[in-house]
Amino acid sequence: MMTPQQRRAVRVVVGLLVAGLALGVASAALTLVLHGDVLAYQRNRHPDADPEALARTLWTRPIPILVVAGLYVWVARQLLAGAYRAYRRVRIVSGLGFVAVGWLFVSGEYPWWLRVVQGVQLAVLAALIAAVNRPVVRAAFPPVPDPRPRNRRAALLLAVLAPVAAEVTLGTVPLRLAWAWLVFAPVYGAGALFVREVVRRTGGGYPNLLLMGVAYGLLEEGLALQSLTSPHLYHAADWAPRLFGVNTAYTELNLVYHAVFSIVVPIALTELCFTRHGTAAYLRRGGVIAAGVVTLLGAALLRVAVPPGEDPGYNLPLPAVLGIAAGIAVLVTLALRVRVRPARPAAPPRPTVLGVLTAVVALVFLGAIWPFAGARQPLFTHGAWALLPMAGAAAVAAATLVALRRWGVDGGWTSRHVVAACTGALAGHTVFGVIGNADSPLDRGYLIVVTVLTVAAGVVAARRLPAAVSSARLSVPAAGPMQR
């Protein structure tokens, strides 16, 4: 129950919400009624700009702000009722609104009379941020304990491990361009986290994670980077004969790579670090939705950051967009609905042997498809002969998958085997980076250090794990009801 002082403070917050809504409506209305004057102002500032493009983008800025302002009405009544979730949403939305309006104001793309409205909006939003964060208001909305399980530390670790395993340790980005890792981090981190949450919530195991990993690869490489179909980007079209406009060798390489190194390996290592949490959800429903949104925004960031500079002039054809989107939809549906029957058990090798084996497999798979040492096609082949190493790489990957499935359900399979398999694969792919990607002594030295540290970390982790603890449940968790 609120005290009179708290209720007065909350009413001030509601009043500022209403004022923010009114200003948002006023800004949108002025833009609608006087859009001709606004466009004339923008054309004077940018005489070389396309008038049609200016007209199309005119509404992309005020409309989102109006939508955000409209959310205020939705939460105002809940706020007066003392709902903690409404209070939390006001804090978030007020901050987002301040950033959005501030961007419009600083950009200076609008006439002075519209900027006056924006300035008043900024002042109201600043007052709202100050009012909603006052101690007296915070005390009126004590957090409600939520019994649903979550693990923020595990989620954060996975979000960090995914870009490190897939991008930082392969050497495709030289150290002089290390800042580019930040461009890739959102889609990798949020993508792996989102995949893990939706698969584990629906009772899926590693086969389902692999399917989602292929879908993730289609999103990043196919839609964001456009690399699966581009005739120029990374010279991927020259690797092997193209089929229906698809860069066949590059597609085979990257869909398998993302499934393993962007998704499965980071998830397996994270779950080993938090064995007590098991396969339970790391995030609640809102966190899962946020992870999905960040994944899409990260893909959009790649789309605007990489292709325009690396592959100017190429835009993914509509049939390719539809085909890739359909492929993603099919893979996601299979991953969430299909359950693979357990394979026949087979005695696994010792963890050390398994680590060496997965290192060799990773090195062979990458080396068989990825041209290196000056080669233009896989393993220095020419023309259609490139299909031979591609077929060999596919056979190696399939045989390894079958073997791991059989070993993973055997009673002798332990957490140490999981550590060894992941460590070996990571070390093998970094060794290939030394051979095929590093273009300077500094980059080669960096990747060699990464390889040594990876192996050392794997050895230490394996020694700390109890040898008798089976991790079969990590491989094929039992199906259960969805967790909210």
Q: Taking Cα atoms as reference points, which of 151, 64, 252, 144 lies closest to residue 483?
A: 151
Q: Extract the tokens encoding 1.
A: 């129950």
The residue type at 296:
L
Read out DSSP for 185-212? HHHHHHHHHHHHHHHHHTT--HHHHHHH
Give 344-378 pLDDT, tens digit per residue: 999 999 999 999 999 999 999 999 999 988 889 99
Q: What integer pLDDT is reported at residue 470 of this predicted model? A: 45
Provide the mean pLDDT of the chain.
86
Distance CA 456, CA 453 (A): 5
Q: What integer pLDDT is reported at residue 435 of this predicted model? A: 93
Q: Taking Cα atoms as reference points, which of 427, 413, 271 lies closest to residue 357?
A: 427
Alpha helices in 34-111 (DSSP H): 35-45, 51-57, 62-80, 84-107
Element (H, E) at 430: helix 415-432
Q: Taking Cα atoms as reference points, which of 172, 165, 214, 448 lies closest to residue 327?
A: 214
Angstrom CA distances, 103 to 21, 62, 176, stand at: 18, 11, 31
Q: What integer pLDDT is reported at residue 18 of this predicted model? A: 84
Angstrom CA distances, 414 to 351, 411, 475, stand at: 9, 8, 10
* pTM given for the model: 0.73
Q: What integer pLDDT is reported at residue 324 of this predicted model? A: 95
Note whether 30 and 117 are within 8 A (CB). Answer: yes
Distance CA 47, CA 28 (A): 25
Contacts with 323 (C-beta within 8 Å, 6 or more apart), sequence order? none
Cα four-point dihedral sign 105, 107, 110, 112: positive
Scan for tokens 């879908």, then name that residue. 215
Read out DSSP for 221-279? IIIIS-TTT-SSGGGGGGSS--BTTB-HHHHHHHHHHIIIIIIIHHHHHHHHHTTTTTT
- The residue ranges of the chain whose pLDDT is under 70 are 1, 49-50, 52-74, 107-109, 146-149, 466-484
Exposed (0-12), middle (13-18) or buried (19+): which is 52, by Cβ within 10 Å? Answer: exposed
Residue 148 φ/ψ region, left for φ over 0, alpha for ψ in the -120 to 50 degree band, beta for the rest: beta
Q: What integer pLDDT is reported at residue 147 of this predicted model? A: 66
In this structure, how many other beta carbons lie within 10 angstroms of the beta carbon of residue 179?
A: 8
Distance CA 376, CA 484 (A): 50
Residues in the chain, overall count: 484
Q: What integer pLDDT is reported at residue 34 of this predicted model? A: 77
